[in-house]
Chain A
């Protein structure tokens, strides 16, 4: 790989249901602290969801919060935090060489639902439909709000990639750096999904919405008693730079994007296809130039649907079948399914393992589904291992989209 193609992570900004920065988030992942809670909705009453508790006014005025979207606000918070974490002197940076690339599962449903509700109070008179609707619902909104907030004049867009979007956003950032289009990429994913009933109602209609008497126990991937997905909001944005640029400025380097891959199942609207997941993971490993046995941690997508968990487990077992030092975990058991942010957040939770060599567990596994009994699955308690040189982050989404990122310790 040419030196200018080596892309590294030098900053992390995030908000998750169980933490508003990497340190707090990681601490809770190691301590088994869930961020899933009861959540009141307009049409469906009390549900369970992952809710973020960051302070929007840390980086926005009240007017900006009012005018923009929740996804935009989350993206702004994460992007400012990521730049601050990177140590880049942003005030003197060339903003035309900075780009923003954010994965989204969907965007616009929240804002549209709100307006439909508002005009329902006025006899569905569309004269009461807000002029803010279009700028709020254009698909680039979350990334565009970041550029407005930070004075970034380089390219920005969102990447629609269902629940693989966090990885897809990250991959877009890597690609734009390699193309020479930008010198700094803010890349990752965001979700405001909990603020519209549609996603809950659709999962419920599909028989895939988690319920539990205790909210923190509701998200239980790989457990026989799981009953579906906990929908969450969240965001995670990385600062990506070329390795040489990061090294020259003495930046802290979280890891290098050693390989990635995206592909499509081409088989079903909803159901995943293990064989295509296998192909995606193998392609990412090949691009990273490593064998499966060299991977130390595999973070699985693991949404806590029976078929999804089982099929992904089958794919992971096939790729990592002779890999005695590869450990498996997942993150949705702590934070639910943060949709567009999921893959980005899930990678972030594992990055500190390069330093502390601890694999955070998946929690809420009381009765392991035998179909998900992958060797070295880290359950309920963290596990210290001998070395962490490579992390593979797997993700998949509806319409059969897969995205895998392999990160290497630098």
Chain B
């Protein structure tokens, strides 16, 4: 997947997890938690959806890598390339 495709995949997951929020205009360098009001259960949902949809494992020690869109892309690009 290209970086752009991975970005869209993350947005699709976020749209399901935070259905009341506007995920189309996310800022890539601002924390997802702050922009979307995510809590720890939501991040576990992101991890689960990555596992379900893309067979990608995110160990708990790597959860901080999911903080922003940019950090997500940096972290996931090698795994989803």
Instruction: Find out whether the CB atom of A63 lies under 8 angstroms from the CB atom of B41.
Output: no
Instruction: Find out whether the CB atom of A63 lies under 8 angstroms from the CB atom of B18.
Output: yes
A289, B64: Cα distance in complex, Å: 65
A62, B19: Cα distance in complex, Å: 6
A339, B42: Cα distance in complex, Å: 32
Nearest neighbor of B47 in chain A, beta-carbon distance: A131
For the complex, is A90 an interface residue (Cβ under 8 Å from B)? no
Most buried by A among B16, B18, B20, B45: B20
For the complex, is B11 an interface residue (Cβ under 8 Å from A)? no
Instruction: Find out whether the CB atom of B19 lies under 8 angstroms from the CB atom of A128.
Output: no
A130, B17: Cα distance in complex, Å: 13
For the complex, is A1 an interface residue (Cβ under 8 Å from B)? no
Nearest neighbor of A57 in chain B, beta-carbon distance: B20
Instruction: Find out whether the CB atom of A61 lies under 8 angstroms from the CB atom of B41.
Output: no
A131, B52: Cα distance in complex, Å: 14
Instruction: Find out whether the CB atom of B48 lies under 8 angstroms from the CB atom of A62.
Output: no
Instruction: Find out whether the CB atom of B20 lies under 8 angstroms from the CB atom of A131.
Output: no
Contacts of B16 in A (CB 8 A): 66
Nearest neighbor of A135 in chain B, beta-carbon distance: B41
Number of interface residues of A (CB under 8 A): 11
For the complex, is B56 an interface residue (Cβ under 8 Å from A)? no
Instruction: Find out whether the CB atom of A132 lies under 8 angstroms from the CB atom of B51.
Output: no
Nearest neighbor of A60 in chain B, beta-carbon distance: B20
A132, B18: Cα distance in complex, Å: 15
Interface residues of B in 1-24 (CB under 8 A from A): 16-20
For the complex, is B30 an interface residue (Cβ under 8 Å from A)? no
Interface membership of chain B positions 23-39, coded 1 if the CB is closer than 8 angstroms to chain A and 0 otherwise: 00000000000000000
Given A131-B41, A131-B44, A132-B41, A63-B20 contact (CB < 8 Å): yes
Contacts of B48 in A (CB 8 A): 128, 130-131
Q: How far is the CB of A257 from chain B (nearest CB, A)?
A: 39
Given A61-B20, A62-B19, A62-B20, A67-B51 contact (CB < 8 Å): no
A132, B39: Cα distance in complex, Å: 13
For the complex, is A122 an interface residue (Cβ under 8 Å from B)? yes
Q: Interface majority SS on B: helix, strand, loop or mixed?
A: helix
For the complex, is A214 an interface residue (Cβ under 8 Å from B)? no
Contacts of B17 in A (CB 8 A): 63, 66
Contacts of B19 in A (CB 8 A): 61-63, 66
A67, B19: Cα distance in complex, Å: 11
Contacts of A63 in B (CB 8 A): 17-20
A61, B36: Cα distance in complex, Å: 13
Nearest neighbor of A127 in chain B, beta-carbon distance: B51
Contacts of B44 in A (CB 8 A): 131
Interface membership of chain A positions 65-86, coded 1 if the CB is closer than 8 angstroms to chain B and 0 otherwise: 0110000000000000000000
A62, B16: Cα distance in complex, Å: 10
Instruction: Find out whether the CB atom of B52 lies under 8 angstroms from the CB atom of A128.
Output: yes
Contacts of A62 in B (CB 8 A): 19-20
Instruction: Find out whether the CB atom of A67 lies under 8 angstroms from the CB atom of B20.
Output: no
A131, B17: Cα distance in complex, Å: 13
Contacts of A132 in B (CB 8 A): 41
Contacts of A131 in B (CB 8 A): 41, 44-45, 48
Q: How far is the CB of B20 from chain A (nearest CB, A)?
A: 5
A334, B56: Cα distance in complex, Å: 50
Q: How far is the CB of B61 from chain A (nearest CB, A)?
A: 17
A191, B35: Cα distance in complex, Å: 36
Instruction: Find out whether the CB atom of A122 lies under 8 angstroms from the CB atom of B20.
Output: no
Interface residues of A in 30-69 (CB under 8 A from B): 61-63, 66-67
A132, B41: Cα distance in complex, Å: 8
Interface residues of A in 115-132 (CB under 8 A from B): 122, 127-128, 130-132
Q: How far is the CB of A124 from chain B (nearest CB, A)?
A: 14
Contacts of A67 in B (CB 8 A): 41
Contacts of A127 in B (CB 8 A): 51
- Told that A62-B19, A66-B17, A131-B45 touch, could you supply 18 new A-B pairs with CB distance under 8 A? A61-B19, A61-B20, A62-B20, A63-B17, A63-B18, A63-B19, A63-B20, A66-B16, A66-B19, A127-B51, A128-B48, A128-B51, A128-B52, A130-B48, A131-B41, A131-B44, A131-B48, A132-B41
Give A residues with C-beta under 8 Å from B: 61-63, 66-67, 122, 127-128, 130-132
Could you give 16 example pairs across A and B, Cβ below 8 Å? A61-B19, A62-B19, A62-B20, A63-B18, A63-B19, A63-B20, A66-B17, A66-B19, A67-B41, A122-B52, A127-B51, A128-B48, A128-B51, A131-B41, A131-B45, A132-B41
7 nearest CB pairs, A to B: A62-B19, A61-B20, A131-B44, A62-B20, A63-B20, A63-B19, A63-B18
